[in-house]
Amino acid sequence: MMAAAVVRPLDANDNLQSRWIDGRPMGDVAAEFIKPNDRLTSFERLELYNRMYWYRLLDAIRDDCPGLLAALGEAAFGRLAQAYLAKRPSRSFTLRNLCSRLEAFIREHPRFTAPRTALAAEIARFEWAQTVAFDGESRPVVSAASLARTPPARLRLGLQPYVTLLALRYPVDAYVTSVKRRDAMRSEASNTPDSNIVHRHAARRSRLPRPLRTFLAVHRLDNRLYYKRLEPEAFRILGALALGATLARAVAAGGRAATPAKVKGWFTTWMALGWFCAAGNKRRARAS
């Protein structure tokens, strides 16, 4: 009963709803399991927990989605976040997973993000990929020696679970980077009141990106988050490997533009980044 009351959405004024699910006054329901004290009624005590729960979740979404917040604006982002949490309530013990279903929700309920639904969905996907990259599982890296012992026609490689491949219609990596840079300047401006130049630059809104086909790998290295742009041929090779193709078939999937020199350079970089592990469960490269 307590849990059901705490997670129930706030009303339009950010208060505990005045009526329970069955229509009874919420004050009467709260009194059934919460005692009043010398300062607060049962309703008011329950309202504190209800607000704290929702404010914490809303703060977490804001922290995880700075690009989406900037693209939609405060009002639209707030409506989206509250609707998402109401229809897709948290089912995890950790706030880390809070935005895992946000992209799907945006696509299923475009009215919350129109007319920027396509862009909003891609930003949400990109920002969730950063969460995965930050603390996703890391498996033992495949050594160059073990690769050399297996013919390409039989060799299969897996991608590290923390690596996410994204085929996007917008360059959201550049956009989110500009938003974070702007937010950092705002923080700096708040501590330097005499710097009018910093204030002016920090107040500028990041320009929304125009459509541009973009291929990305979101990953980490030495406990730091990175996103690396990929050529289309390189993306196809990595995607084929992620789906379980042999090395020979994956390279063939790159097409004629994937010259031997390019393939060698790509694999040298990918091996240095530690992206390859033993082949396991097939994964799908994410595309729009």
- Among 37-46, 194-203, 232-241, the minimum mean pLDDT is found in 194-203
> What is the average pLDDT across 192-216?
70
- 186's CB contacts (< 8 A; 6+ apart) are 202, 203
Q: Which amino acid is at 71?
A: A
Bridge-based pairing of strands 224-229 and 276-278 is unpaired
Domain ranges of the chain: 2-135, 137-171+212-288
Mean pLDDT of 65-74: 97
What is each CA distance from 123 to 67, 106, 127, 173, 188, in whole angstroms? Answer: 7, 11, 6, 8, 25
Tell me if the pTM is above 0.85: yes
Query: In this model, does residue 169 exceed pLDDT 90?
Result: yes
Q: What is the percent of the chain with per-residue pLDDT over 90, rounded to a whole number?
A: 83
Mean per-residue pLDDT for 137-145? Answer: 92
Which amino acid, 191? N
Say if residue 286's pLDDT is above 80. Answer: no
CA 56/CA 58 separation, integer angstroms: 6
Q: What pLDDT shows up at residue 190?
A: 55
Neighbours of 90 (CB within 10 A): 14
Give the model's pLDDT for residue 199: 44
1 pLDDT higher than 80: yes
Confidence class for position 147, pLDDT limits 50, 70, 90: confident
Cα three-residue angle 133-124-253, rounded to 5 degrees: 65
User: Confidence band (pLDDT; 50, 70, 90) for 198?
Assistant: very low
Question: Does 236 have pLDDT greater than 50?
Answer: yes
- Pick the range with the lowest mean pLDDT from 26-35, 72-81, 140-149, 236-245: 140-149
Q: Note the pLDDT tens digit of each residue in 96-116.
A: 999 999 999 999 999 999 999
Which helix (H) or strand (E) covers residue 227, if one does? strand 224-229
Joined together, the tokens standing for residue 225 give 């988050």
Query: Is 257 exposed, middle or buried, given 0-12, 13-18 or 19+ CB atoms closer than 10 A?
Result: exposed
Is residue 49 scored above 50 in pLDDT? yes
252 Cβ contact partners less than 8 Å away, ≥ 6 residues apart: none
Name beta bridge partners: 246. Answer: 156
CB 36: neighbour CB atoms within 10 A?
A: 14
What lies within 8 Å, CB to CB, of 98 at 6+ separation is 57, 60, 61, 64, 90, 92
Helices assigned H by DSSP within 66-116: 66-72, 74-87, 102-108
The band of 218, judged by pLDDT with boundaries at 50, 70 and 90, is very high
